[in-house]
Structure 1
Amino acid sequence: MKKIKFAILIMFLFSGMYNFAQERSTSQNKVKITGKVLEKVTKQPLEYATISVTPVNQTKVIAGGITNPKGEFDVVVAPGIYDIKIEFISFKSTEIKGKNISADTNLGDVNLAEDAAQLNEVLVRAEKSTVEIKLDKKVYNVGQDMMVKGGTVSDVLDNVPSVSVDTEGNVSLRGSDNIRILIDGRPSNAINIAEALRQLPADAIDKVEVITNPSARYDAEGGSGLINIILKKGKNQGFNGTFIASTGLPETYGLSANLNYKTEKLNYFTTAGYNYRTNEGEGLTNTKYFNEDGSPKSYLDETRDTKRTRDGFNGRAGIEWSITPTTFWTNAINYQKNTGEDRDLINYYNYDANRVATGNSSRLNNGDTGGENVEYTSNLIKNFNDKGHKLTADLSISRNTDDSNSVITAEPTFNRTLNNQVQKQIQLQADYVLPLGKGSQFEAGYKGSFGDLNNVYYVANLVNGMYEKDENLSNTLEYKENINALYTSYGFKVNKFSYLFGLRWEDTNIEVNLLDTNKFNTKNYNNLFPSAFISYEISTQSNFNASYSKRLSRPRGRFMNPAVNYASNINIFQGNPDLNPSLTDKYDIGYLKRWDKVTFSTSAYFEDTKDVFSFVRFPTGDVVTPDGNVVTPAPGETVDGIPVIKNSPINVGKEQKIGFEFTLNYTPFKWWKLNSNFNFYNVKTTGENSYEDNNGNVIVQNLNNQATTWFSRISSKVTLPYKIDWQLSGNYNGEQKTAQGKNLGQFGLNTAFSKDVLKDKATIAFNISDIFNSRKMRSYTNFYDDDNKDLMTQTAYSEFQFRKRQFNLSFTYRFNKSKNDREKNGVPRNEGGGDNGGEFPG
């Protein structure tokens, strides 16, 4: 593997040197035209403005380019006299006539003014593509995706390139769930992130940024990268907004509003929404047990029927204050509240070796859930000049609760469980950016994150008509995590090469305390996280880049809580307080090319992770409580003859992942757009797990595994007659081998239609999620005898569908706001939480 990495890097370096030499040999007699395109009123850079160079008295354009995220352009021509035209959709173009270009020429700042007369006729042409591919990240514009109208953030993420969301709402990037999710550049403080994303309406989201290899400016957390969800903040002068109403089947409905009022000094923005959602699911597990001679012993078939309902309210209000022309202060309050009911019915059917029924039973879990999240955020920006010299400061204070209680009926036993969690979090951050002349930049900052989680877990058994607390299975967890971080980075540009080097230091202190049993566990560690990025600009339309970063993944509350989860009496979950963090070295080589109708991006990546933690399942009757006792529900190795399976996270050892992906945006016609993404990777895991059986024997499980899989997604958007928009999106996750079996392939297809009405002030949209009802998690799992690895003791086939096919209808009404409003950013916010992090100086 080291040879492969070395070969890839050598190939990149030789390729860069060759292209550099070619460019140099062909440009000996060329000169360079440079400049910067700005919006006239706000002085903000305009990305993707076009520059065209035409010889005087001719019509054929001989050279041109587009501006980068900083509004800068760089066009190479032969010496001569030219007409130079700078254009941006919905702005008045600027043309410089008869410019004598005999040497390198800097046109300085070119200010474009908005052309109000053209706004109505350029709405469609001004529409951004759903997916924008940038050198260091992919940006997904939510407003252009009909699939997510009336949906949630989980629906949004499931349409983002390189990102997938499984049927239970868990988010993964490039096939790994070892990621960090940010909201407006700050880590999400939700206890149950999957549930929080399902409660936040898609209408509140402006765009999503996917950063696969973050720079030192970002938290080191998230071995496979970051996903940054940016919320809407209106920027138009005056009072404007959007109302959205939606309904669907299974029973779903919602109402939301995004309102904004902006004056010269103040900008008030608010988002509020209510939604009621029903998720119906089903599943089955068919298990076959074997005798020692390999013959069938018995069978167990399980069927599962689930129904989850959620009532949710989401609110956000804030004020942006332009204190001075160079100082901006934003304050906001975020509030989420949800309640719900969970019904989970499992039927068990037992058969003998001849498939003759021997009995059946059932287990009904009726539960109530609820949560409340409150967060205050403050952001202060001080711009010292218009060259990028600035200081930003951020503060976040939050309190989150997550409660659930269940009544478990499985005659002749009855149980109750209670799980209440309260989390408090404070985050402080300061970032300083200092340009050091043309093409170089210094940056430094500090971040502190201080939080604690209190988790009360309670199990009660019905005894003589009264519920009595089970002291062995109940406990209170206190989890404290304090992190202090410092970082610095320096970027510079030499000819067509850009460099960005950074170093981050993080000091972590974690306490895992079990208050009922007086068990205390403390972990202290600090690490250095270097990062390096190199980019070679082949032309204004194409780039090569290579990057490296070290990342970290910390085990969190549920993973480290040794209290037993008693939702099932034969499938036991138990956390591991001895988990260590995993460290990942990430390497990425990428290429980006833009044509008139096509944008193509591809990358090869390698991830080397040590102490990776993963879940392991093994048959055991031993449920070990925090005080070291072995207790029910399995005093032997079975419950009613059924082997008990324990599920627990461990540090496996080492994981290596190598893969490549490409993203392609293609617009063959103005009325047709195609977006596609493909990812292929191989994962090799090396490690083992040891445990004691009932007889005190040490059993060693070999968890070595190697798997190859792939996933792809394609989306087509077509404008039909009568201005009806139609979108069709399909995705497929390939089959993947696991340490104890395999996960089968999964296919899903979604579609949506939309039509503008009321003179384009309103839009009606209808979408169908999972048209063929095919998005099911399907897997095979095999267990072998501890002493004879060739003797299979049981095999199981499982499938589960968290959410069945859904239909959704939505109505959107806009006032004082056009359909494809560009939402020009009059205040230079730091909403990405790292706009300069990872970007190369120009």
Structure 2
Amino acid sequence: MDKFAVGRRIGILISCTLFCWGVVGAQSKVEVRGTVLEKATNQPIEFATVMLQDQQSKAALSGATTGADGTFLLSAEATDFTVKVSFIGYAAREFADLTAQNGQVDLGNIYLSAEGQTLDEVLVRAERSQTEFKLDKRVFNVGKDLSSTGASALEVLNNVPSVNVSIEGEVSLRGSAGVQILINGKPSVLASEQGNALGTLTAEMIESIEVITNPSAKYEAEGTSGIINIILKKDERKGLNGSVTVNTGTPHNHSVGLSLNRRTEKFNLFSQLGVGYRELPRDREVINRDLVSGTEVRSEGREYRNEQFYNVILGTDYYINDLNVITLSGNFAYEIEDQPSRTDFRFFDENGLLANEWYREEVTEATNPKWNYELQYKKDFEDNEDHVLLFSAMGNFFGKDQSSEFTNTSLLDGEAFGDQLTRTNFQEAEYTFKLDYTRPFSDKLTLETGAMYVVNDVSNDFAVSNLEGVDFVVDSSLTNIFEYSQDVLGVYTTGAYEGEQWGIKLGMRVEHTDLKTLLATTGESNNQNFANLFPSLHTSYKLSDRVSVQGGYSRRIFRPRLWDLNPFFNIRNNFSVRTGNPNLLPEYTDSYEVSSIYLLGPLSMNFSVYYRYTEAVVERISVFENNVNITMPMNIGTNRTTGLEFNAKYSPKPWLTLNGDFNYNYFNRQGELEATSFDFTGDQWSGKLTTKFKLPAQIDFEVTGQYESRVQTVQSLVSENYFLDLGLRKKLMKGRGVINLSVRDVFATRIRESVVQQPTFFLYSFGQRGRFITLGFSYGFGKGEAMEFSGQKRF
């Protein structure tokens, strides 16, 4: 635990107590001043405790805590006194036989040296933030060391074991960024991808943070890397918080954002406005080699996805009374896309000689409106704070109206490829209804039950036209209307027993899926109707307050997504085509995990061993003909994966934090496609290390390095991948202003490279985004320090 944070709270407590005691005796008034510094770093120590005592009786006469610059000033009626300076984790210093000059004593710079814990452990636990183990989760209780600092929710999350928040505001759990964030057990636009406004919540509003790494049957059976649930205090409703943020960067990435959060006795009003422009370039290189004919097509180019975006969030929590809350919120986003891209092609004959050369240019324009709205009702019961009923209804809409023009320019006298036009009219609507009920029967027994219904409807009207003479003629083989609908009905029940040391939780979830796809023009359809059981089992044993062992089993499902099913494709590179498979089946995984969790002072560690068995594995398969590669997802056999994972967070010094993740797994693939066996074994590993430094002048510096080993898939070999990210943050204006600088992929080494070597063809693919640099300024107003505006970051 950060010594400064612990001392901050304890200092405030002691100071308040000292002032309540008052002054003993009628003596002449004296003022004492000075500056408290850490000896090792010469940095000021904030919230150190300074006590003025009677030299004989040791009775407290006055007290104070140091400011952000380490200075203090206190006064009392005294003539014979001592001054004691202390801070948690540091050796206290005492000054005696002091003589006042004109009623003043200046102690100058006072240096404190670090030592072991000096305060009673029970007092420290009562004051500082701490983690406790629950049956299937860990709960981080926010103490005064954080709640009294005015920190944002993102800064609080960064103190939670296994959780890391980058300077850009990206939240990851055990090294994975695919985390679902809930507010009081329910989704919220405050934590949504469309406009992450977690920075408008301050630490004093937060009661605790729950971390769930292996979700039970209570949660949707679709895969997730984990859940973070932020529990807000019921009695912290008053105040205005907000921030204004300006960002700029290269490649072009410019935005302005305003976040507001207003809390009253009855209402919690929140809003966010954002506007900006960004460019997302990508370099690509592809080689298609026909090993039968000996011909080859090489293509390389730069693709752009440029966007103007506008985003508005409005919402409110209405507290009917202490037991009933209604939330109504909405989000509207509008994007204007421009995709100027160029791809250069070269065709080599069977003798390896250049036979043709041309380039293909794309001009694409699109508009994307997005809607999101939500109504939630939460009822608490008086008998138990965990006795809760929650209902929510959510709606989402996404549209795309896009047109593209492709022109081909020949550089040799070879075959001239005709120009093409494409048109896309895409609409997607999704509605989600959820009802959850939690009923504790005692301190040890809890029942949870609920239901969910999700409706997803999609229509994609796609057309391709080829230039014939002077006119564009619709290509009927590439033109169709794809309609997709998926309804999922889920019902669950879980029962849990949790004793002082041991607990167990059993759950069962039933989900019924009705999936339909239709190619309206040709009448081709595929209907899938199936029901599945998703059991879960979790158990834990507390060896001590700092060590716990947890085990879990759950069954998960991966349902084919829209773009896995949609057979239409982008014809930017018509020699390398990516398409969907309307006949794709869902993928099922049985997941087993045993974890040990250690909290050892400034060190927290998680060590896990896992086994996963996956059926109907979805893999992208290449089909090659006439130098054209078409990749399509298919269900290929089974996958047995055995692995281990290690995660640690270590803060050896107040100014240094290390956060590391390591994952290794060995897999056994078995499958067959069209009489061809795909049986093989392999392994892969990845590592990530984030180092954070607290530098002088309120500067934070962050370095993140990541490595991913090469890995074999059914057809391809994916190359290793490594990169380095940097971040720098400087606080200004007593913490209300923040300057952020981030550099992603410092050395431009983050690539996606793969090779497919088959008996009749060879494929090589290379993709790279390159270096991104972003500079931002945020100013916070209301309670606390500046809140980070953390909108969508797409790379």
Q: Secondary structure at the match of 2:564?
A: helix
- Indicate which of 638, 658, 665 corresponds to 1:681: 665
> Aligned pair 1:721/2:715, yes or no?
no
* In 2: Cα distance, 1:112 partner to 1:186 partner: 20
Mark the CA change 1:575 to 1:807 in structure 2 (over 3 Å): closer, same or farther. Answer: closer
Q: Is the 8 A contact 2:380 2:387 kept in 1?
A: yes
Q: Is the 8 A contact 1:382 1:390 kept in 2?
A: yes
Match of 2:652 in 1: 668
Q: Is the 8 A contact 1:206 1:230 kept in 2?
A: no
> Aligned pair 1:612/2:617, yes or no?
yes
Match of 2:57 in 1: none
Match of 1:800 in 2: 767
* In 2: Cα distance, 1:606 partner to 1:243 partner: 46
Q: Secondary structure at the match of 2:584?
A: coil
> Aligned pair 1:162/2:164, yes or no?
no
Matches within 5 A, 1:144-163: 145-146=166-167, 148=168, 156=170, 160-163=173-176
Q: Secondary structure at the match of 1:559?
A: helix
Question: Aligned AA for 1:132?
Answer: V
* In 1: Cα distance, 2:351 partner to 2:373 partner: 63
Aligned pairs, number = 644
> Aligned pair 1:220/2:221, yes or no?
yes
> Aligned pair 1:749/2:732, yes or no?
no
Mark the CA change 1:238 to 1:566 in structure 2 (over 3 Å): closer, same or farther. Answer: same
Matches within 5 A, 1:6-45: none
TM-score by length of 1: 0.71
Match of 1:53 in 2: none
Q: Secondary structure at the match of 1:540?
A: coil
Question: Aligned AA for 1:742?
Answer: L
Question: Aligned AA for 1:816?
Answer: G
Q: Is the 8 A contact 1:781 1:796 kept in 2?
A: yes
* In 1: Cα distance, 2:364 partner to 2:308 partner: 14
Question: Aligned AA for 1:684?
Answer: N
- Indicate which of 402, 405, 411 corresponds to 1:407: 405
Mark the CA change 1:460 to 1:412 in structure 2 (over 3 Å): closer, same or farther. Answer: same
Mark the CA change 1:338 to 1:710 in structure 2 (over 3 Å): closer, same or farther. Answer: same
Match of 1:85 in 2: 123
Match of 1:8 in 2: none
Match of 1:631 in 2: none
Mark the CA change 1:237 to 1:245 in structure 2 (over 3 Å): closer, same or farther. Answer: same
Match of 1:446 in 2: 451
Q: Is the 8 A contact 1:131 1:675 kept in 2?
A: no
1:416 Cα offset (Å):
1.1
Question: Aligned AA for 1:161?
Answer: R
1:257 Cα offset (Å):
1.3
Q: Is the 8 A contact 2:299 2:343 kept in 1?
A: yes
Q: Deviations over 1:783-820 (max 9, x none)?
A: 21xxxxxxxx333333211x220111111101123238
> Aligned pair 1:425/2:426, yes or no?
no
Match of 1:575 in 2: 580
Q: Secondary structure at the match of 2:376?
A: strand
1:123 Cα offset (Å):
6.5
Matches within 5 A, 1:447-466: 447-466=452-471
Mark the CA change 1:547 to 1:205 in structure 2 (over 3 Å): closer, same or farther. Answer: farther
Match of 1:245 in 2: 246
Q: Secondary structure at the match of 2:671?
A: strand
- Indicate which of 367, 377, 381 corresponds to 2:378: 381
> Aligned pair 1:324/2:310, yes or no?
no
* In 2: Cα distance, 1:517 partner to 1:728 partner: 54
* In 2: Cα distance, 1:765 partner to 1:644 partner: 46
Mark the CA change 1:475 to 1:233 in structure 2 (over 3 Å): closer, same or farther. Answer: farther
Match of 1:274 in 2: 275
Match of 2:421 in 1: 416
* CA RMSD between the two structures: 3.5
1:160 Cα offset (Å):
5.0
Mark the CA change 1:205 to 1:113 in structure 2 (over 3 Å): closer, same or farther. Answer: closer
Q: Secondary structure at the match of 1:221?
A: coil
Matches within 5 A, 1:14-163: 85=123, 87=125, 89=127, 119=148, 128=156, 130=158, 132-133=160-161, 138-140=162-164, 142=165, 145-146=166-167, 148=168, 156=170, 160-163=173-176
* In 1: Cα distance, 2:199 partner to 2:460 partner: 30
Q: Is the 8 A contact 1:90 1:119 kept in 2?
A: no
Q: Percent same amino acid at aligned positions?
A: 25
Mark the CA change 1:323 to 1:470 in structure 2 (over 3 Å): closer, same or farther. Answer: same
* In 2: Cα distance, 1:274 partner to 1:126 partner: 22
* In 1: Cα distance, 2:312 partner to 2:122 partner: 48
- Indicate which of 699, 709, 713 corresponds to 1:734: 709
Moved more, 681-690 or 486-495: 681-690
Mark the CA change 1:563 to 1:779 in structure 2 (over 3 Å): closer, same or farther. Answer: closer
1:259 Cα offset (Å):
0.4
* In 1: Cα distance, 2:772 partner to 2:272 partner: 25
Q: Secondary structure at the match of 2:476?
A: coil
* In 2: Cα distance, 1:446 partner to 1:279 partner: 40
Q: Is the 8 A contact 2:176 2:225 kept in 1?
A: no
Q: Is the 8 A contact 2:565 2:582 kept in 1?
A: yes
- Indicate which of 474, 483, 491 corresponds to 2:496: 491
- Indicate which of 363, 368, 371 corresponds to 1:366: 363
Q: Is the 8 A contact 2:737 2:786 kept in 1?
A: no
1:350 Cα offset (Å):
2.9
1:114 Cα offset (Å):
6.9
* In 1: Cα distance, 2:152 partner to 2:376 partner: 34
Match of 2:304 in 1: 307
* In 2: Cα distance, 1:489 partner to 1:362 partner: 60
- Indicate which of 752, 775, 783 corresponds to 2:750: 775
Question: Aligned AA for 2:770?
Answer: K
Match of 2:262 in 1: 261
* In 2: Cα distance, 1:338 partner to 1:703 partner: 43
TM-score by length of 2: 0.75
Mark the CA change 1:455 to 1:124 in structure 2 (over 3 Å): closer, same or farther. Answer: closer
- Indicate which of 502, 509, 515 corresponds to 2:514: 509
Q: Deviations over 1:732-767 (max 9, x none)?
A: 111112222311111111112121112221011212
Q: Secondary structure at the match of 2:280?
A: strand
Moved more, 439-448 or 559-568: 559-568
* In 1: Cα distance, 2:661 partner to 2:764 partner: 30
* In 2: Cα distance, 1:449 partner to 1:455 partner: 20
1:237 Cα offset (Å):
2.0
1:433 Cα offset (Å):
0.7
Mark the CA change 1:577 to 1:188 in structure 2 (over 3 Å): closer, same or farther. Answer: farther
Question: Aligned AA for 2:516?
Answer: E
Q: Is the 8 A contact 1:347 1:361 kept in 2?
A: yes
Q: Secondary structure at the match of 1:472?
A: helix
Match of 1:534 in 2: 539
* In 2: Cα distance, 1:230 partner to 1:309 partner: 34
1:131 Cα offset (Å):
5.8
1:130 Cα offset (Å):
2.0
* In 1: Cα distance, 2:580 partner to 2:494 partner: 38
1:566 Cα offset (Å):
3.6
Q: Is the 8 A contact 1:206 1:231 kept in 2?
A: no
* In 1: Cα distance, 2:664 partner to 2:682 partner: 11
Mark the CA change 1:266 to 1:128 in structure 2 (over 3 Å): closer, same or farther. Answer: closer
Moved more, 402-411 or 314-323: 402-411
1:393 Cα offset (Å):
0.7
* In 1: Cα distance, 2:144 partner to 2:435 partner: 35
Q: Is the 8 A contact 1:89 1:126 kept in 2?
A: no
Mark the CA change 1:354 to 1:480 in structure 2 (over 3 Å): closer, same or farther. Answer: closer
> Aligned pair 1:817/2:792, yes or no?
no
1:479 Cα offset (Å):
1.0
Q: Is the 8 A contact 1:723 1:756 kept in 2?
A: yes
Match of 1:701 in 2: 676
1:360 Cα offset (Å):
1.1
1:325 Cα offset (Å):
1.1
* In 1: Cα distance, 2:629 partner to 2:558 partner: 27
Moved more, 405-414 or 263-272: 405-414
> Which consecutive unaligned segments of at least 5 residues does structure 2 have?
1-87, 89-119, 130-140, 203-208, 409-415, 789-795
* In 1: Cα distance, 2:509 partner to 2:263 partner: 38
Q: Secondary structure at the match of 2:651?
A: strand
